[in-house]
Amino acid sequence: MGLPYNYIAIEGNIGAGKTSLTTKLAEEFNAKLVLEEFADNPFLPKFYESQDRYAFPLELSFLAERFSQLKEELNSRDLFQPYVLADYFISKSKIFAKANLNADEYKLFNTMFELMNTSLPKPQLLVYLHLEVEQLQKNIKKRGREYEQKIEDKYLVSIQKSYFSFIKQHRKLRIVVVDTSDVDFVNRPADYEKMKSIITSPYAPGIHHIKA
């Protein structure tokens, strides 16, 4: 059994487990794995210390990095790896910018975003992993990235609202919103199989809500 779509993006809030799930699926289906390269971004630790000061350079740098990576990865398809699995998609930049920037900054950012967005293919399936803020915080604490430990609940809520706003506005895409509050696809094989079954199912364009 293969994947029903050649290009799948798995998204979610900070700490939702998107990288872990994407990696496991890519290994099983021999897919090209595209993971967001954020660890070396010099603005990220600074942003969590002073969001107002560093939000704009952070979002611009992420947009540039994401665009560059996706353009390279999606245009250099490997004949022996027919599938692409990514733990983000380019619209993530717009979602976070909407939550982090003031009106004037966002207007300028959005102009640049639209220029880049038109030249990239859209994922044939977008999977959004939904967790409540309390569980996100537990996951953030568990993985132990120092610069993330001061993330406040209200920031995670704002990002969550920004994701949901985007999803509601893009009903022509094929989007699956999965409530993963009762699953542990990293440590429980049965839960991973459940998630795999959801992601390998065919869907009509539109928004689909599923309780895993």
Q: Of 87, 153, 179, 191, which residue is the catalytic one?
A: 87
The arrangement of strands across the sheet holding 84-86 comes to: 32-34, 84-86, 7-12, 125-130, 174-179, 206-211
Assigned token pair, 172: 């022509």
191 is annotated as an active-site residue: no
Whose CA is closest to 195, among 17, 15, 13? 17
How far are the Cα atoms of 65, 137, 211 from residue 148, in angstroms, in the given order?
20, 10, 28
d(CA 162, CA 93): 11
Distance between CA atoms of residues 68 and 65, nearest Å: 5
Quick one: angle between helices 153-169 and 133-143, nearest 10? Answer: 120
Cα–Cα–Cα angle for 60, 65, 70, rounded to 5 degrees: 130
| Active site residue ranges | 87
